[in-house]
Structure 1
Amino acid sequence: MLPHTYNPLLVVCSLFVAVLAAYTAFDMTGRIAGAKDRTTQWWLLGGACAVGLGIWSMHFVGMLAFNLPIPLGYDPLTTVASLLLAFAASALGLWLVRQDVLPIPRLIVGAVMMGLAIAGMHYTGMSAMRMRPAIDYDPTLATMSVTIAIIASGAALWLAFRLRGRTSMMLFRRSSASLVMGVVFASIHYVGMAAARFPIGSVCSVAENGANHGWLAVVTMVVTLAVIAIALTISLFDIRMEAQTAALATSLATANDRLAHLALHDSLTELPNRMQLENRLEELVRNAIHADDRFTLMFLDLDGFKAVNDAFGHRVGDELLIDVATRIRARLRPHETIARVGGDEFVLLSSLKDAAAVAEFAEALIGAIQKPFLVDGHDVEISVSIGIAIFPDGGANQEELLRNADLAMYHAKALGSGGYCFFETSMETHLYEQMQIAHELHSALQRGEMILHYQPKFRAPSGPSVGAEALLRWDHPVRGLMPPERFIPIAEKTGLIVPIGAWVLDESCRQLKAWHDLGHTDWSMAVNLSPIQFAHEGLTQAVRDALHRHGLPAKCLILEVTESTAMRDVDFSLMVLRKLRRTGVQIAIDDFGTGYSSLLYLKRLPATELKIDRGFVRDLADGTEDAAIISSIVALGRALNLRIVAEGVETAAQQMYLTRLGCDTLQGFLLGRPVIADAFLAAVISSE
């Protein structure tokens, strides 16, 4: 037999190609298993080519490493046939492992077919040498090589099937398996080569005409490595694209979920919005009609919220709304719904049917919201007005229920903040009137329908006069002279109180200047500030402008702020009042004694007057509680160096008692009624 040798470098190269081909095979199985639709076919085709070329290259480089003491060559057609067998074996293996399951019978059949194809590739490639006489094979070693091929194919199929996943450990597992399988597949070739025996005198018939193995080794290695590198690069790129696509899909899914949530929820409070409320309300009406049942709809509107917004800004207002929503949600029973339907408006749907139970629930909600809020370092107090409509008496469908509960809520506001009302049919007439007033109020200033009446103030007990208090009236062309309690709440709700208040300031200063020009330079003018106006950021500038416009000394203007307004947020009130005092105007605390004032805060307020509420004066008599209260207020005023003004004086007894207690200034019907400016001088002169 002819002696043979191996080129060590090419042997190592064939082993490297075998390992790389095994890793490519494992990687392709993962790509094919995860592919969808028509991309599976392309991955299967490309993977079969890359893996088949790698297996064949391992075999062919191994043959090129084999040397005999005679010239060698390879028949091109037979060599291509061996390559096709490698493609077929790879395609079969990849197709098997891409299936959802790989049962033992299918694994065995696949291993046999794939092993025979690989062995066939080897022996077909050997026959490409066209040896004369033909190559003699050792039966034992040849059988062993085929057996190794079948066993190795089975092991490769099983490992590839198990390594299809995409976990963080998969790279290490595939690399380890590739190293083992590369050595096993290389052993198939070298056992088969060991089985080949070349008799003395053997000649290669294609040594001259066949491809030269010197340059063929280089070309085969370069082409194989290039193809495998391209396949792995494409696979890596596809993995990254798939990861980006998956991340994008997740982001889109999250965005869609968020959009769906936003479509049905208020973005600030996370409560259901009007759309979800209407869906829920429609369902409740339908079920209630079918079951002849009842349920309750409550319309909630926050009292004083606009003042908080004006005073502290919208950021604090938004935080307050979130806190309110949290408190309401904490009071809900199972299957109850609370939705935000406007700036400070909420609608609550409850399964409560009994009016007494509904009233108890409404009182609990009011109590929860009236507790002070700590928002961004500010103590904020608000209340809530609730309108209630019970299906079906309060409305036969969702539109009627919402409208009627809204009507009841406005009626609750008209009765005073922090209350609730059940809907009654008579409220519709009242609401129409309120809406008409609100509509006409917009143009009342431009039409000159707003007028001021002036009530004189006297030094106790009976004069002389020290000035007047400006009292707003609406001289309506149809309704006649309207007192402020009929339109001021509407003006505050619509925001019109700010321009109306600015007009009152300007007109009061103009009139006082006119009286000063007539010689009454010691008179002052008192002007009431509404809570909305007090919280408005332009108040101080409006005061300066009015004084400057009419050339009026600032000390002659007295701004009256109710005790409850001043105490609502003491820090904010201090800031506003100090800014006003810096203009030179005087500050009076109106309705004193009706609210709750801490002496600690009261002594810090830059006030010049305390004005005793008329409620204490009405029933004044020796030994009564009102007398004790007034005496305490006067003592407090004296201690704080404040003037004391008593309003609502209607009898001579009240006049003398208040004077004896120490009040500085009196005002009331006994001394002078509110009159227009033209009648004021005559009324004052006759009283003195």
Structure 2
Amino acid sequence: MHGTVDGFSYGIVTPLVAYLMACLGGALGLRCTTRALLVSHSWRPGWLALGSAAIGSGIWTMHFIAMMGFTVAGAPIHYDKPTTYASLGVAVVMVGVGIFIVGYKGATGTALFTGGTITGLGIASMHYLGMAGMRLNGDVEYNTLTVAVSVAIAMAAATAALWAAGQVRGFLWSVGASLVMGLAVSGMHYTGMAAVSVHLHATGAPPPGDSTAGLLAPMLIGPLAFLCLAGVVVLFDPLMVRGKPDRTRVEHKPGVPANNHPPRPDRRVPPRPRQVAHHEPRTPQNR
């Protein structure tokens, strides 16, 4: 029996809140990525790791807020905890790989394409692994073409977001990049959900698992608390807002003074040319 699927049970509320969560995670994560490009190599891994965790937490939270509005008529939905939280780990790790590539190789050329592709695949993997943790009295099937389109959307938009973050042109660039990242996650999610069809079983009890409401509390307490912490770190770092390089942490290189300022040109005044005195010939009058 074909189940009636509704992805907007609460109207525009869940899509809007989900998009805002994706933008929040993207804003913090991409700003940390931008910050990593402005500091010395010793500080770069920490900023990139923080950015990876922020983006991963943001897209995972976005996914399950959006799933709050997903219902199947006549089939209560439950979730398997290990699979659900494994999707969070996959999101953080795969997004982290893409961000570290861009953070160390730069947001240009092959590095940008590779990092954006891996980041987009991380978003898609999180989504479909999270869907694999869904339990209901029926079988979930996907349209292959629509799934491929959703993955392509995630990769293209993630690449664009990383490119914008790598431009290092100030705070507004990171805001624009976060909006693109939120669009990548939300667009990928709802395109992927459009590929879903459910065939219900005629008999049988609902499978065991936790309800969406049961996952809501840890979902909000955990990732949202981390996003707030990341926001505090970003807020109290003035260079995050100005978008200027950290001049006090530039590594010392041969030929560069320890005060991190380039050598000033020699401003000494050149000596005046020596003037040769001209003597008048001696005449009887001036002897």
| Paired position in structure 1 for 2:127 | 122
Query: Secondary structure of the residue that 1:146 maps to in structure 2?
Result: helix
CA contact (8 A) 2:137 2:200 kept: no
Aligned pairs, number = 253
CA contact (8 A) 1:97 1:160 kept: no
| Paired position in structure 2 for 1:2 | 3
- The Cα shift of 1:10 comes to 2.5
Alignment of 1:429-468 (within 5 A): none
Q: 2:16 corresponds to which letter in structure 1? A: V
1:539-596 CA-to-partner distances (Å, cap 9, x unmatched) read: xxxxxxxxxxxxxxxxxxxxxxxxxxxxxxxxxxxxxxxxxxxxxxxxxxxxxxxxxx
Give me the whole-angstrom Cα distance separating, in 2, the residues matched to 1:201 and 1:37: 56
Q: 2:86 corresponds to which letter in structure 1? A: A
Q: CA 1:11 to 1:25, structure 2 compared with 1: closer, same or farther past 3 Å?
A: same
Give me the whole-angstrom Cα distance separating, in 2, the residues matched to 1:221 and 1:64: 13
Note if 1:107 corresponds to 2:106: no
Q: 1:67 aligns with which of 65, 71, 86?
A: 71
| Paired position in structure 1 for 2:46 | 42
1:218-248 CA-to-partner distances (Å, cap 9, x unmatched) read: 44234333322211220232336998x9799
- The Cα shift of 1:81 comes to 1.6
Between 1:87-96 and 1:217-226, the stretch displaced more is 217-226
CA contact (8 A) 1:51 1:90 kept: yes
- Structure 2 length normalisation: TM-score? 0.75
| Paired position in structure 2 for 1:299 | none
Give me the whole-angstrom Cα distance separating, in 2, the residues matched to 1:189 and 1:142: 10
| Paired position in structure 2 for 1:419 | none
- The Cα shift of 1:26 comes to 2.0
CA contact (8 A) 2:29 2:50 kept: no
Query: Secondary structure of the residue that 1:197 maps to in structure 2?
Result: strand
Q: 2:161 corresponds to which letter in structure 1? A: A
Greater fraction of residues in strand: 1
| Paired position in structure 1 for 2:284 | none
| Paired position in structure 2 for 1:478 | none
Q: CA 1:152 to 1:247, structure 2 compared with 1: closer, same or farther past 3 Å?
A: closer
CA contact (8 A) 1:20 1:178 kept: yes
Give me the whole-angstrom Cα distance separating, in 2, the residues matched to 1:144 and 1:226: 33
Alignment of 1:665-676 (within 5 A): none
Alignment of 1:227-246 (within 5 A): 227-239=226-238
Q: CA 1:142 to 1:240, structure 2 compared with 1: closer, same or farther past 3 Å?
A: closer
Alignment of 1:203-222 (within 5 A): 209-222=208-221
Note if 1:172 corresponds to 2:172: yes
Q: CA 1:248 to 1:51, structure 2 compared with 1: closer, same or farther past 3 Å?
A: closer
| Paired position in structure 1 for 2:17 | 13
CA contact (8 A) 2:112 2:159 kept: yes
| Paired position in structure 2 for 1:54 | 58
Give me the whole-angstrom Cα distance separating, in 2, the residues matched to 1:157 and 1:40: 16
Note if 1:148 corresponds to 2:157: no
- The Cα shift of 1:15 comes to 1.2
- The Cα shift of 1:202 comes to 7.3
CA contact (8 A) 1:131 1:203 kept: no
Q: 1:123 corresponds to which letter in structure 2? A: Y
- The Cα shift of 1:201 comes to 2.6
| Paired position in structure 2 for 1:91 | 96
- The Cα shift of 1:352 comes to 8.3
Give me the whole-angstrom Cα distance separating, in 1, the residues matched to 2:270 and 2:51: 62
CA contact (8 A) 1:130 1:204 kept: no
- The Cα shift of 1:210 comes to 2.1
- The Cα shift of 1:3 comes to 1.1
Give me the whole-angstrom Cα distance separating, in 2, the residues matched to 1:81 and 1:247: 40
- The Cα shift of 1:11 comes to 2.4
Where in structure 2 are there 5+ consecutive unaligned residues? 250-258, 260-268, 280-287
- The Cα shift of 1:136 comes to 0.9
Q: 2:175 corresponds to which letter in structure 1? A: S
Give me the whole-angstrom Cα distance separating, in 2, the residues matched to 1:72 and 1:248: 54
Give me the whole-angstrom Cα distance separating, in 2, the residues matched to 1:242 and 1:144: 35
Give me the whole-angstrom Cα distance separating, in 2, the residues matched to 1:66 and 1:52: 21
CA contact (8 A) 2:98 2:114 kept: no
- The Cα shift of 1:22 comes to 1.9
- The Cα shift of 1:186 comes to 0.2
Q: RCO (CA 8 Å, sep 6+): is it higher in 1 or 2?
A: 2
Q: CA 1:189 to 1:246, structure 2 compared with 1: closer, same or farther past 3 Å?
A: closer
CA contact (8 A) 1:72 1:204 kept: no
CA contact (8 A) 1:61 1:221 kept: no
CA contact (8 A) 1:131 1:204 kept: no
The share of aligned pairs that are identical, in percent, is 30
Q: CA 1:51 to 1:202, structure 2 compared with 1: closer, same or farther past 3 Å?
A: farther
Q: CA 1:110 to 1:203, structure 2 compared with 1: closer, same or farther past 3 Å?
A: farther
1:55-113 CA-to-partner distances (Å, cap 9, x unmatched) read: 11111221222112322111111112211111023202321221353443333333333
Q: 1:151 corresponds to which letter in structure 2? A: A
Give me the whole-angstrom Cα distance separating, in 1, the residues matched to 2:83 and 2:136: 13
Between 1:120-129 and 1:8-17, the stretch displaced more is 8-17
Q: 2:99 corresponds to which letter in structure 1? A: L
Give me the whole-angstrom Cα distance separating, in 1, the residues matched to 2:69 and 2:130: 14
Query: Secondary structure of the residue that 1:135 maps to in structure 2?
Result: strand
Larger Rg: 1 or 2? 1
Query: Secondary structure of the residue that 1:37 maps to in structure 2?
Result: coil
| Paired position in structure 2 for 1:32 | 36
Q: CA RMSD in A?
A: 3.3
Query: Secondary structure of the residue that 2:77 maps to in structure 1?
Result: coil
Note if 1:187 corresponds to 2:192: no
| Paired position in structure 2 for 1:347 | none
Where in structure 1 are there 5+ consecutive unaligned residues? 250-255, 257-331, 337-350, 357-688
- The Cα shift of 1:48 comes to 1.3
Q: 2:187 corresponds to which letter in structure 1? A: S
1:185-226 CA-to-partner distances (Å, cap 9, x unmatched) read: 201011111111111337998x66422211422442343333
Give me the whole-angstrom Cα distance separating, in 2, the residues matched to 1:246 and 1:193: 43
Give me the whole-angstrom Cα distance separating, in 1, the residues matched to 2:217 and 2:177: 27
| Paired position in structure 2 for 1:138 | 143
CA contact (8 A) 1:79 1:125 kept: yes
Alignment of 1:264-275 (within 5 A): none
CA contact (8 A) 1:76 1:128 kept: yes
Query: Secondary structure of the residue that 1:34 maps to in structure 2?
Result: coil
Query: Secondary structure of the residue that 1:35 maps to in structure 2?
Result: coil
Q: CA 1:203 to 1:50, structure 2 compared with 1: closer, same or farther past 3 Å?
A: farther
Q: CA 1:38 to 1:68, structure 2 compared with 1: closer, same or farther past 3 Å?
A: same
Q: 1:23 aligns with which of 22, 27, 30?
A: 27
CA contact (8 A) 2:80 2:135 kept: yes
